[in-house]
Amino acid sequence: MMNKENSLGVILKPDERVDDLHRNQYKIIQNTKKFCFGMDAVLLSGFAKVMSGERVLDLGTGTGIIPILLEAKTKGKHFIGLEIQEESADMARRSVAMNKLEDKVDIVIGDIKEASALFGLASFDVVTSNPPYMTGNHGIVNPREAKAIARHELLCTLEDVVREASKTLKPNGRFYLVHRPFRLVEIMKTLTEYKLEPKRMKLVYPYVDKEPNMVLIECIKGAKSMIKVEAPLIVYKEPNVYTDEIYDIYGY
């Protein structure tokens, strides 16, 4: 199957599609056979705070969803997405070009474990990450497959992400993380070991009567210990119907 050009003048490769992000008329290229962004990335973009003039690094950016959404939602000066998978980075770069964001968003191919070497110490005001949640190779058919790399800690661990976030952040810089509640003890321990003090936390529940399946955390580098646990975020008020807060985050 040959590559094709869509109505926006962007080359689409086999199995790729263009999705509307409902923000600033931005769109994003995704591959239906590989890995498409999930709600966790969108929720992180709504939870993160980026002030005017700040520089932002997204560790493990995938197809660039978080930098593109943060550029739409905030007054940040510049956004960089770091991604190790060349195919995902290529889609991200084409999405940046499609939205004419080349002056605001850069996509860099590289390893999270080498982020501080790539960009320098204390070089960002904000770091974000929607990292792989699962440990080990359990249930993985092909460890090199894009979905496996995105979901399992095959190429980087939680500690790698936290360490590099801490190194690349300026003093009092902010780190925003979305992860799974079942690893919350490990997450908090790792964050504090690398001087990223959790200051704000929000649990995400699929339904009001279900257990939480996501956690959003804001940390400040070098801050004193005190955390605010915010009101929970409920995704669905009934099957297939989002709550008003979710609609607002998505921009519908």
DSSP annotation of 189: H
Element (H, E) at 16: strand 16-20
Q: What is the pLDDT of residue 75?
A: 96
The pair of structure tokens assigned to 195 is 């001087």
pLDDT one digit per residue (tens) for the chain, 252 residues: 446 555 566 789 999 999 999 999 999 999 988 878 889 999 999 999 999 999 999 999 999 999 999 999 999 999 999 999 999 999 999 999 999 999 999 999 999 999 999 999 999 999 999 997 656 655 544 554 655 545 544 568 999 999 999 999 999 999 999 999 999 999 999 999 999 999 999 999 999 999 999 999 999 999 999 999 999 999 999 999 999 999 999 986
Q: What is the dihedral of CA 18, 20, 23, 27, to 10 degrees?
A: 10
- What beta strand segments (E) does 69-188 contain? 78-83, 105-109, 124-129, 169-179
2 falls within a domain = no
18 falls within a domain = no
5 falls within a domain = no
The pair of structure tokens assigned to 226 is 């005190």
Measured distance CA(176)–CA(135) in Å, rounded: 20
Q: What is the pLDDT of residue 58?
A: 98
Q: What is the dihedral of CA 180, 82, 54, 164, to 10 degrees?
A: 60
24 falls within a domain = no
Element (H, E) at 45: helix 39-47
Element (H, E) at 43: helix 39-47
pTM for this prediction: 0.91
Q: What is the pLDDT of residue 26?
A: 96
Number of domain units in the chain: 1
CATH number of the domain enclosing 223: 3.40.50.150
26 falls within a domain = no
Q: What crossing angle do the helices spanning 158-168 and 184-193 adopt, rounded to 10°?
A: 30
The pair of structure tokens assigned to 214 is 């996501």
61 falls within a domain = yes
Residues with Cβ within 8 Å of 9's Cβ and at least 6 positions away in sequence, in order, are: none
**Residue numbers of the domain that contains 142:** 37-250
Positive/negative CA dihedral, 175, 171, 196, 111: positive
